[in-house]
A = this chain, B = another copy of it.
Amino acid sequence: MFNDPSTEKPAIARRERRFAARWQQILKAAARLFADKGFHRTTTREIAEAASVSEGTLYNYFKNKDDILYGILTQLVEAQSQTNQPTISVSMDASQFFTDYLNQRKKHFDKNSIMMQALISEILSNSELREQYYSQLVEPSIHMMESLLRVRMAIGQIREIDAAQLSRVFYGLLMGLFLLKAIGDPVIDSHWDELSELTTSIVFDGLTPT
């Protein structure tokens, strides 16, 4: 009788929004803790406290502790899919494009660094998570990079190299720098913002003196 869709749907939407907000709130708290002390050293009690909810409530939003980890992955995938698209203009100068691309990746790292740090450690010791991480985050990135490189090669802006390998080398470089930062290297940390240009300079012009 009272089921007026015009009032009911907003109610559902509101509930969904509330749910999503709480979900995020828990996720954020957990990510911060995972990044800080690692997944296994973080207790559900700590997560609950940090998220200002009770321990029981966690289980209304996540199936179990592992599920929070997968939630962070999902979040990261979404973040990346939003960042990736608006990147390229073929006409642009190749090295400028490359610097831009690196900067964009760096921005993405910076913005999501807590979630990435929350995951990275577990990725290396949890094979299921690792596979999902690879197929949902790493592979798409590499594939996109690969096809961008192919385009540049096709129009002669960069020389012909195995694009599959080249894209891996670049992706590896990015991960490596991120890792080195995470491990606490002071030089990387203090020059974090100049690294894109340095890398571009190395990669495009080479080390051979002119």
| Residue positions of A touching B, CB distance < 8 A | 34, 37-41, 94-95, 117, 120-126, 130-131, 133-134, 138, 142, 156-159, 161-162, 164-166, 168-169, 171-177, 179-180, 182-185, 187-188, 191, 194-195, 198-199, 201-210
Contact = CB atoms under 8 A, between A and B. Distances in A.
B121 A183 contact: no
Given A159-B209, A176-B173, A188 B166 contact: no
A123 B158 contact: no
Given A117-B124, A206-B204, A172 B173 contact: yes
Q: Which of A122, A131, A166, A180 has the most CB of B within 10 A?
A: A180
Contacts of A208: 94-95, 158-159, 204-206
Contacts of A177: 168-169, 172, 176
Given A168-B188, A169-B173, 5 more contacts: A161-B207, A169-B195, A175-B179, A175-B180, A204-B206
A68 to B, nearest CB: 15
Contact of A125 (B37, B169, B210): B37
Contacts of A198: 161-162, 165-166, 169
Nearest to A152: B207
A97 to B, nearest CB: 11
B161 A171 contact: no
Contacts of A165: 187, 191, 194-195, 198
Contacts of A121: 121-122, 124-125
A37 B127 CA distance: 8
A143 to B, nearest CB: 11
